[in-house]
Amino acid sequence: MLEKTSYHTFRGKRWRLVSVPSRRLDHDRGECENPTSSGKTIRINRELSGEGMLDTLIHEALHACLWDLDDEAVEPTAKDMARMLWRLGYRPKEEHDVER
Ligand SMILES: [Zn+2]
């Protein structure tokens, strides 16, 4: 999952999105660099999949969009959004391919 590096714009600023080995994140699920830093990167733990991956992508995107919000707000928001999208059937392309 997230095989390739990609770039995404949040509120007019661009982040690089990469998946990294778990140890690089101290076994956290992801991290988002400060919107004011140059070469901003969002790192996602490459061991994640399924709804956990979706949750983490939304979580880090929320940090990128709303840097002043802390995890107390971001964590349950991302979780609820991921659950809704997952229940509605949203899946990464690779998982659709596997289902065939
Ligand atoms: Zn967070």
Residue spans per domain, the chain = 6-90
> What integer best gives the mean pLDDT of the chain?
93
- Environment class of residue 55 by beta-carbon count within 10 Å: exposed (0-12), middle (13-18) or buried (19+)? buried
Pick from 51, 60, 62: nearest CA to 84 = 51
> Average pLDDT, stretch 30-55?
96
Please say if the pLDDT value at position 99 is more than 50: no
Structure pTM?
0.91
Please say if the pLDDT value at position 85 is more than 80: yes
* Residues around ligand 1, an ion, CB closer than 5 A: 71, 74
- Token readout for 65 is 């969009």
> Average pLDDT, stretch 26-53?
96
Q: For the residues of 17-44, what is the DSSP string, one character each?
A: EEEE-GGGGTT-SEEE--TTSTT-EEEE
CA 32, CA 51: separation in Å to the nearest integer?
19
> Average pLDDT, stretch 49-78?
97
Please give the distance, rounded to the nearest whole angstrom, from the Cα atom of residue 96 to the centre of ligand 1.
28
